[in-house]
Amino acid sequence: MTPFTVPHHLPTAGPDLLVALDVDGTLLSHLGDVTPRVVDAVAALAATGAHLVVATGRGVVATTPVLDVLDLLHGYSVCSNGAMTLKLDPSLERGFEILEAVTFHPEATLRRLRRVLPEALFLVEDAHMDRLVSAPFPDGELHGEPRVVDFEELCQVSATRVTLRAPDLEAAHIQEALDQAGLHGVSYAVGWTAWLDVAPEGVTKASALERVREHLGVSPFATVAVGDGANDHEMFNWASWGVAMGQATDQTKAHANDVTGTVAEDGVAWVLEALLGR
């Protein structure tokens, strides 16, 4: 049993339905685990022809392993909080093509952030999926081996995403620093740890999902979104039915239509199973 009822206006599971799914804290625990129940629910809904779109703040390099675990080989994925949109195609060498990459010049943002958080670590990703860092991140936090470069070089990259990480601080401290930094001309969201993602102005998961929806010809009233973070607020507002994970903050839950179980309870599977059971 689930604690909610699927809205009657949504179509039954099939090609007329688009379901956007956050990754960390939704499909995966914050330790990076995905349970068999979640994998099975994703597979069952995908088998109906429904459009399952992974929509994440992760860059492409960190997103593709999740797609592999979930066996999502076709369709679309939204990465870097909407700055990168992929069309999945297993016949291609990389398994996808980049449909859209939105970039911005990060220098002003990086300098403002460094002024208020001089000990922070920075990562910049570009439209070619190259990743540059100001110093190594804590073990296990980044996929692959980003290249360590001088801060001045970071400032010159045409970026799809800027990430700030302050391992010794709490998320609340990052928010305080942001208030001092006065960022302009960008979109940003603070993660569940002291982790900040910055994207081009006006770019969100929702902006990219809307273009995917239009391309697929899915009705705006046939969209579902599940997530747990501040970077999911716009996605909830975009979706016809937005569902927040049980561990989300009250602020995030306020943007959603419903609340499911926590990630430890396989809350996202509750939603997918409810859609399948209509």
pLDDT (tens digit per residue) in 134-168: 999 988 888 888 999 999 999 999 999 999 998 88
pLDDT tens string 64-99:
999 999 999 999 999 999 999 999 999 999 999 999
Distance CA(34)–CA(273), nearest Å, equals: 16
Q: Cβ atoms within 10 A of the Cβ of 277, count?
A: 10
pLDDT of residue 177: 80
Distance CA(55)–CA(227), nearest Å, equals: 9
pLDDT of residue 12: 96
Burial of 99 (0-12, 13-18, 19+ CB in 10 A): middle
Determine which of 29-38, 86-95, 203-212 has the lowest per-residue pLDDT on average. 29-38
Which domains are assigned to the chain?
18-102+204-276 (3.40.50.1000), 107-200 (3.30.1240.10)
Diameter of the chain measured on Cα atoms: 55
Q: Is residue 245 over pLDDT 70? A: yes
- pTM as predicted: 0.91
The contacts found for 86-90 with CB under 8 angstroms, 24 or more apart, are: 86/60
